Chain A
Amino acid sequence: MVREYIENIGFLSIHFIESVGRIIIFLVAGIINIFLLPFQFNKILEHIWFIGAKSMLVIILTGLFTGMVLGLQGYYTLSKFGSEGMLGSVVALSLIRELGPVLAGFMITARAGSAIAAEIGVMRISEQIDALETMDISPIKYLFSPRIVAALISFPLLTALFDVIGIFGGYLSGALMTNSNKGIYAQKVVQSVLMEDVTAGFIKSFVFAIIVTTVCCFQGYYTHLNTGGEHGARGVSLSTTNAVVTSCVLILVFDYIITYILM
């Protein structure tokens, strides 16, 4: 019983270390392949369309309602201390430094990341990735590298969109729908937001872009190596679930680490 328990811990530890090693090698290979000829401009554009442009609606909706909730809750809390005038600062800083990059990361993971993991997973089980290898086409260059570049371009832009829409949502619910001074909200936004806040938000979005693309592509690419003994369609569904869950957890972990470093 005890021996079995220790064996399981050992097995899981080895599996964890192997997976971390494999994902790091995968990421490094993906980054190196970005700079190798031929450059994949068309594929990068296609992925910007898929990861970026097609995620805009969901980002606008979540940004708007996140901002509106922040506006309402912020107004309710601040009014207890007679500080409603600080609402613009609270909403803008919360969104730009924290909620914008994190929630945008979550939404892109849910919409594009899951699709990426599933698509690459299906390609793996239907031997399409093997077919690329037999044609001497690097699957990492073909499938992963253009997605990293596309995500690095799309994530900051979507985060910025989320922030702007969120600040507008906060204005709608916290200033326009209440009796507070409308001008002060905008003035506080402008006054309180510094370039370093914006930079911090963008640094997070760049890191999240790498995390989400790497985890989702990796999970799909190694669908056939999933432990748990699932193969075929169930293997792909397991990879997709793992991709989304791991991405979201890593976003939160790295959010804390980056916030700690930048503070």
Chain B
Amino acid sequence: MTDPFIQFIDVKKSFDTNHVMQGVNLSIYRGEITVVIGKSGCGKSVLLKHIIGLMNQDSGEILISGKALSSLNKIEKKVFKNKLSYMFQSNALFDSLNIFDNIALPLMEKSSFSKEIIKEKVKLRMSQLEIDGTDEKFPSELSGGMQKRVALARALVVDPDVVLFDEPTTGLDPVRKKSVHSMIKEYQKKFGFTAIVVSHEIPEVFDIAQRIAMLENGKIVFEGDRDMIMNSTNQAVRSFIIEKEII
């Protein structure tokens, strides 16, 4: 197996007396979909926010291609950050901007592309995600599923190497959940990005996962593929899967 692209080594993070991460060790490989599962509030989103730099760990290291994230200088951090995209649980679309401007925002603000090229790139993503014709609409005028696609289009418009999905199916009905999962799988295959999906949609999310990690009590208690997790004898894993299947 190749070296991990992103690696958590004994990462700890606390909020006052709440010890969310108590020594997380996790490896994420390039070009794969890694799914992080765990109970609500167990720190899955916090884990993602450490990768993108929205939060900093109290101790431990996060390695990017073998190099500690904390040791990167400002320019290297910027270069790494520009390779990442983050899809929020709530989509975090800008409600005062129309759909076109929402998708174009990262290019408008950060790239040196001309307006014509930006328009071309945005239109291409809109067409690939089947949201053409919604340019002038505002997020509140779209359905939940369409908003997810807009959020994904915004995440993909910068041609990222890594896309972080924070509970992308929260609040959706079973049909839409399935379609969002297929969308992630399809576009990951099409664009080849590394995906890290945080979810507690068990067992549906296993269908898209190449690797699965489970976070429990601030630690990764399982790492492996779908077959391994389904046959795992780990007590925490078994009880979580059984509990989710019953629900």
Contact = CB atoms under 8 A, between A and B. Distances in A.
Interface residues of A, number: 15
A137 B78 CA distance: 11
Contacts of A130: 54, 88, 92
B88 A127 contact: yes
B82 interface: yes
Contact of B92 (A119, A128, A142): A128
Contacts of B110: 135-137
B106 A135 contact: yes
Interface in B135-160: 158
B72 to A, nearest CB: 14
Contacts of A127: 88-90, 92
B63 to A, nearest CB: 20
Given A127-B88, A130-B54, A131-B88, A137 B109 contact: yes
Interface string B96-136: 10000000011001100000000000000000000000000
B81 interface: yes
A131 B94 CA distance: 9
A134 interface: yes
B86 interface: yes
Nearest to A122: B95
B27 to A, nearest CB: 22
B96 A119 contact: yes
B51 to A, nearest CB: 10
B88 A136 contact: no
Interface in A128-158: 128, 130-131, 133-137, 142
Nearest to B78: A136
Contacts of B96: 119
Nearest to A136: B81
A128 B52 contact: no
Given A136-B78, A136-B81, A136-B82, A126 B105 contact: no
Given A127-B88, A142-B109, A134 B94 contact: no
Contacts of B158: 135
A132 to B, nearest CB: 8
B126 to A, nearest CB: 18
A134 B54 contact: yes
B85 A134 contact: yes
B15 to A, nearest CB: 13
A39 to B, nearest CB: 12
Contacts of A136: 78, 81-82, 110
B109 A126 contact: no
Nearest to A119: B96
**Among all A-B residue pairs, the 8 with the closest Cβ atoms:** A131-B92, A134-B86, A127-B92, A135-B106, A137-B109, A136-B81, A127-B88, A134-B52
Interface of B: 52-54, 78, 81-82, 84-86, 88-90, 92-96, 105-106, 109-110, 158
Given A127-B89, A133-B52, 4 more contacts: A134-B52, A134-B85, A136-B82, A137-B105
